[in-house]
């Protein structure tokens, strides 16, 4: 009784599936042909790299610097390691592909976490935004200033529990390690450090008094400043930041030479032509200078930064070398 209907349905579905496969294949073809510029966020959707790519894609579209919309795709794995290897191995000459990166990539390159490739394996394009490290405690914490924290660390490095979204050896750990090493003069390996699945979880642990210090980034603090629940002991920038952050002292002001800026930028494959590379450098430079982009950047809680082209390339390679020395210094390598 049901047979004819079922056969009809089967035929319909067969046609539909073939059509879908065809569409999918055409879609793939398009992606391979690369007639759309693409930004790889080397992470899952929603994180900082996603934000960096979107800032670029939306910015280029809004300012009219590029007419074809940019595709944002995701390639999670090893905080960027998978994408770094992928670009070096298979998409090394794709002139329409940029990959989001940050200071974190330089740290991981320094620690050898990006496999066999070095910092100079790719063409660093530029950085158009920055964030700054912060040291945050709960409002009722005994540490009123950075000096209180340093004194406590000096007395007993194990008495302070710090935590953040990164693991031991990550940028977030480096911040407290620098405080231990440079300010308190104690060995960073004696520190207690708890790593969470992202800044949000660590912030929750701080509010619940499970950790004493949260070593996050300034952009994460925008909604918490003024809530009366936390106190930012220091901002790790060379000078005070504006807006809601204007009341927060830098570490420098308090007598400690500790800075931790985090740039957000991009790299391209190693065998991209000079013409393609220069086009992108120019595009990025132009974008970073527009008012529209500056508004978008502020909206995301990020701060100005402008390093492009060969300048930036040198900067990142040097930074990776510096981090390598630092890693040795603090006992990571």
Partner 1 sequence: MFDFMIHGFDVALTPLNLGLALCGAILGTFFGALPGIGPINGIAILMPLAYTLGLPAESALILLAGIYTGAEYGGRMSSILLNVPGDAGAVMTTLDGHPLAKKGLAGPALGLSAVASFVGATIAIIGLTLFAPLLARVAVMFGPAEFFALMIFAFASMSVMMGSDPLKTGIAAVLGVMIAMIGVDSSTGVLRYTFDMPELYDGIDFVVLIIGLFAVSEILLMLEQAARDGVTDMPAVGRVFVKFKEVIACRGAILRSGFMGFVIGTLPGTGASVASAVAYTTEKRINDREGTFGEGDMRGLAAPEAANNASAVGSFVPLLTLGIPGSGTTAVLLGALMLYNITPGPMMFSERPEVAGGLIASLYIGNVVLLLLNLPLAGLFAKVLTIPRWVLVPFVALLAFVGVYQLHSDPIAIYTMLAVGVFGYVLRKFGFSLAPVILGYVLGGLAEVNLRRALAISGGSPDVLWASGISIGLYIAAVALLVAPWLIGRLRPRKYAD
CA atoms within 13 A on the CB side of 184: 25
Residue 287 Cβ, how far from partner 1 at the closest point, in Å?
Answer: 17
Q: Among 148, 161, 150, 149, which residue's Cα sits nearest to residue 191?
A: 161
Instruction: Tell me the sheet residues that pair with 97.
Output: 38
One residue of 37, 39, 50, 150 binding partner 1 per CB under 8 A: 50
CB atoms within 10 A of CB 174: 25
20 binding partner 1? (CB under 8 A): yes
Q: Among 143, 318, 305, 308, which residue's Cα sits nearest to residue 218?
A: 305
Residue 193 Cβ, how far from partner 1 at the closest point, in Å?
Answer: 6
Are the beta carbons of 51 and 300 closer than 8 angstroms? Answer: yes
CB atoms within 10 A of CB 50: 18
Are the beta carbons of 146 and 281 closer than 8 angstroms? Answer: no
Residue 125 Cβ, how far from partner 1 at the closest point, in Å?
Answer: 19
One residue of 164, 211, 232, 316 binding partner 1 per CB under 8 A: 211
Residues 95-124 that bind partner 1 (CB under 8 A): 111, 113-115
136 versus 281: smaller Cβ distance to partner 1: 136
Instruction: Tell me the sheet residues that pair with 123.
Output: 268
Residues 123-182 that bind partner 1 (CB under 8 A): 158, 161, 163, 167-170
17 binding partner 1? (CB under 8 A): yes
Assign 3-class secondary structure to 164-224: ECCCCCCHHHHHHHHHHHHHHCCCHHHCEEEECCCHHHHHHHHHCCCCCEECCEHHHHCCC
Q: Which residues contact 304 (CB under 8 A, 6 or more apart)?
A: 129, 130, 294, 297
One residue of 65, 66, 194, 306 binding partner 1 per CB under 8 A: 194
198 binding partner 1? (CB under 8 A): yes
Residue 94 Cβ, how far from partner 1 at the closest point, in Å?
Answer: 13
52 versus 250: smaller Cβ distance to partner 1: 52
208 binding partner 1? (CB under 8 A): yes
223 binding partner 1? (CB under 8 A): yes
Contact window for partner 1 (CB under 8 A) among 206-214, 267-275, 284-292, 318-326: 206-214
Contact window for partner 1 (CB under 8 A) among 140-148, 178-186, 222-230, 310-318: 222-230
């Amino acid at each position: 009784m049901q047979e004819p209907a079922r056969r009809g349905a089967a035929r319909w579905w067969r046609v539909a599936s073939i059509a879908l496969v065809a569409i999918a294949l055409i879609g793939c073809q398009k992606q391979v042909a690369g007639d759309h510029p693409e930004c790889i966020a080397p992470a899952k959707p929603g994180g900082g790299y996603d934000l960096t790519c979107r800032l670029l894609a939306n910015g280029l579209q809004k300012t009219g610097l590029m007419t074809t919309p940019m595709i944002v795709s995701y390639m999670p794995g090893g905080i960027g390691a998978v994408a770094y290897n992928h670009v070096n191995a298979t998409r090394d000459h794709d002139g329409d592909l940029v990959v989001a990166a940050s200071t974190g990539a330089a740290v991981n390159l320094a620690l050898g976490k990006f496999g066999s490739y070095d910092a100079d394996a790719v063409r660093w394009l530029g950085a158009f935004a920055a964030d700054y490290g912060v040291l945050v405690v709960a409002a009722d914490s005994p540490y009123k200033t950075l000096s209180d924290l340093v004194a406590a660390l000096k007395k007993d490095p194990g008495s302070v529990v710090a935590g953040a979204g990164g693991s031991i050896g990550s940028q977030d750990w480096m911040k407290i390690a620098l405080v231990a090493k440079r300010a308190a003069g104690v060995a960073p390996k004696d520190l207690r450090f708890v790593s969470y699945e992202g800044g949000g979880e660590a912030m929750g642990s701080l509010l619940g008094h499970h950790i004493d210090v949260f070593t996050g980034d300034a952009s994460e603090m925008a909604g918490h400043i003024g809530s009366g629940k936390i106190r930012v002991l220091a901002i790790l920038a060379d000078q005070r930041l504006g807006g809601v952050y204007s009341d927060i002292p830098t570490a420098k002001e308090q007598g400690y030479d500790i800075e931790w800026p985090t740039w957000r930028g991009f790299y391209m494959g190693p065998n991209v032509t000079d013409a393609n590379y220069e086009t992108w450098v120019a595009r990025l430079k132009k974008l970073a200078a527009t008012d529209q982009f500056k508004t978008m950047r502020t909206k995301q809680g990020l701060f100005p930064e402008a390093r492009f082209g060969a300048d930036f390339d040198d900067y990142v390679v040097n930074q990776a070398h510096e981090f390598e020395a630092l890693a040795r210094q603090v006992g990571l390598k």
